[in-house]
Every structure is written in C-alpha cells, then in structure tokens.
Amino acid sequence: MLPTVPPGSSMEASDELGKKMDGKPWATVIYNTAYKYDMVMPMVRGFLVDIFLVFTLIYILTRAGTPSGIRIVAGSVAVGLFTFLVGPYTMHNWFQTPTEAYTGHLIDALVAWGATGLWLGWWLNRK
C-alpha cells in the first residue's frame, strides 16, 4: 500500500501515518519480478481449479442423497458468494474500494456459479 512507513518502523509511526492519511488517496501495488506474456498456463490452471471445485460441490451437495434442483442451485450460488467474499472482497482489501471496482467480480461469481447450479440441478436429477 502506498504511502507506507519504512520496514521496521514502530507501531506509533504506523498509527501517525494512518491518522495523517485518513481521507486521502492511497494505492495498492502488486509487484512481480518478471512479466510473462503467457495466458495458456493460467487458463489451464483456472480450468483445472474450476473442475475440482465443481466436483467438490457435487460431493458436498450429494452427501445425503441427491438434493432437489432448487437446493443445488441455492448451494451453488452460496459457493459463488463464498468465493467472492473470501477471495476478491476480503483478501484484496475491497472493503475500502469503491463498489464499482468489484461489482464485476460479484456478478461473475453469481452468474458462473448460478449457471453451474442450473446445470448440476438438471444433471444430478436426470433419470
């Protein structure tokens, strides 16, 4: 986060800077040591993680038999909310960020997991 105190500064220095900066602009910087112009591996990893999450969701939802379609959709949307609230919202300090900056992440979570729930509701309850 910028501005910030130097490493090893006292808690009093941090508190003083916090009071001085209250209400003023600030920024978060993500630093990487090397830029990689490669989308293949991140997309493959993302796809594999998504597949793992869907199988985990199926496991959780079917522990007591196959639930109704609406319960599957509701459980899937709940997973979407969990992933949003634990991921982009809390882990990346979104609670101090304007709403329009993270609304897309919320919509992505709800739409993707809602669509997954609709499909799983049909797939798991087909005869």
Q: Give yes or no: residues 14 and 74 share one domain.
A: no
Q: Give yes or no: residues 13 and 48 share one domain.
A: no
Summarised one tens digit per residue, pLDDT across range 52-61 is: 989 999 998 8
Q: Give yes or no: residues 19 and 61 share one domain.
A: no
Q: Give yes or no: residues 25 and 78 share one domain.
A: no
Q: Give yes or no: residues 112 and 60 share one domain.
A: yes
Q: What is the pLDDT of residue 12?
A: 92
Q: How many domains does the chain have?
A: 2
Model confidence pTM above 0.75: no
Q: Give yes or no: residues 9 and 52 share one domain.
A: no
Q: Walk along the chain (127 residues) in steps of 10 and give the mean pLDDT of each run.
A: 85 91 82 86 88 90 88 92 78 67 86 94 89
Q: Give yes or no: residues 76 and 110 share one domain.
A: yes
Secondary structure of the chain in HEC code, one letter for each residue: CECCCCCCCCHHHHHHHHHHHCCCCCECCCCCCCCCCCCHHHHHHHHHHHHHHHHHHHHHHCECECCCHHHHHHHHHHHHHHHHHHHHHHHCCHHHCCHHHHHHHHHHHHHHHHHHHHHHHHHHCCC
Find the domain containing 4 and state its range: 1-31
Q: Give yes or no: residues 71 and 9 share one domain.
A: no
Q: Give yes or no: residues 12 and 56 share one domain.
A: no
